[in-house]
Structure 1
Amino acid sequence: MSVLAAWDTGLLRRTPHFAVGGRAGPWWGPFALFGLTSLPTFLAFMLAGRSPLDALPVYLSIAGLSAVGLWAGQVADFTRLQALARVEQLEELAYRDPLTGAFNRRRFDDDLSGLHPPAFLLLLDLDHFKRINDTYSHDAGDQTLAVTAQVLQELVRPTDHVYRMGGEEFAVLLAPCEPAAALEVANRVCRGVARDVGVRAGLPGVQITVSGGLAPALGPKREVLRTADESLYAAKAAGRNRIHAAAPLNAPAWAAHAPPVQPAPSSTPADPGR
């Protein structure tokens, strides 16, 4: 009887199925189910030589109470699943950048604090991004940012996470990751951005490049960010379109083999620091 009662309730499914049309199932379902499965009560009374009328109160009690219990359980489970889904949705909104779909700075801070070595931080900044906004419009700039996030997601490993830190700055947390693998991913990112972002952002003929600083994710969060940021500025100072690795990687300066920079035309001088 228990197996029959649970057959269409979701209790025998690997994925619970409590909702029908956005509700916890029809209210009469459990009553019909237990009404049928409790019918042997009459047979038991008849075999004992008693009248079916004597079985009616017992039948109604068993069927009614069982149905009410099952229905209440379905409603409770469905409500709990709805609440969990809502919490998950709110967490997604709280930790995602709405423009690019990448994780945001809040999620970055949480994830960086929970990293265990070996792990690395790759801090990235688009080169001459202001020229895109000034020459092609802010919509083109937004599209460039969104495409950059997509390309980064495609270029990193499944275990790595991509974040938009703000403006044209992105970050990648590589974990777990050995130094050689970190350099390989950074190299792939730098070349891939230079190769793909301009075309996919609808700016043919304009090469959009990125500079980056690579640092081990060791020690206090502030120190990790400072080291990566110093390496990023070293990459900018060395000519952009490259990655500068922090000293602990035993590679004080490491440049990706990307094509030469071809910035978007503009009469406005570029910010020499970015």
Structure 2
Amino acid sequence: MLILSCWVDWADGSTFRGAAQEHPGGLVMPYLQVKDAAGRWTTVVEDMGMPAGKPKTIAVDLTGKFLSASREVRIVTNLCVYWDEIFLSDDSSPPPVTLTRIDPSSADLRFRGFSTPRIDPERRQPEAFDYANVMLTSMWNPTSGLYTRYGDVGPLVRAADDRFVIMGSGDELRLRYPVDALPPLAPGWTRDFLLLVDGWAKDADANTAFSQSVEPLPFHAMSAYPYPAGERYPDDEAHRAYRDAYNTRPALKLIRPLATR
């Protein structure tokens, strides 16, 4: 098992398009190679994945992937990925694990502002953010359209059902979990918390599809985004009621216009 601690300084649509134009094959997502008996690099994992955003740890199963006595591996990509720690674990016996799901006891959507960015003076580290230091100003307004109204949004985050919380720039979704409902730990055990998030993100870059509007809304059954004319966001009674009840907040105007009419 190859364990990689890393992060991605995620770019916008124009950056990705520029990178795709510079390489004959377009964007090259990370893939993994090992050496065969002749010493040639051979691809054995065509899509090894990568961390989605800030510091995370991922695992790549190398069981049966080595083609020779060599244990060299090579990762190939043209994306900006910051690999901070990489090591190989030969422990093939998984430890006992007990998974306990707990749903949030409350989910509150509100406007908070923007965490102050921390930028490495030598630009050797990706941008980080100081949550305790809030800025109320923004360099741009949220994309136009209807967002989820502020307040309790608990019913929208309990299942992946295409009824989602639509957040704009500066919004915060605060979740609280009843951890006292978890079973006590057995002697010698430790507890980790995993947050499962299902959703989509869209920026306002000129090379992002429908970048200037919240619509069209994505949905799990779509074949692509933008989706073709024969597909549409669910239009049954439950989803119409969701949109009427929750998605009623116009985009905020965070920047004053340069001139008034």
**After TM superposition, is the score higher than 0.5?**
no
Structure of larger gyration radius? 1
TM-score computed with the length of structure 2 as normaliser: 0.23
Greater length-normalized contact order (CA 8 Å, ≥ 6 residues apart): 2
What's the TM-score, normalizing by structure 1? Answer: 0.22
> In proportion to residue count, which structure has more strand?
2
Higher helix share goes to which structure?
1
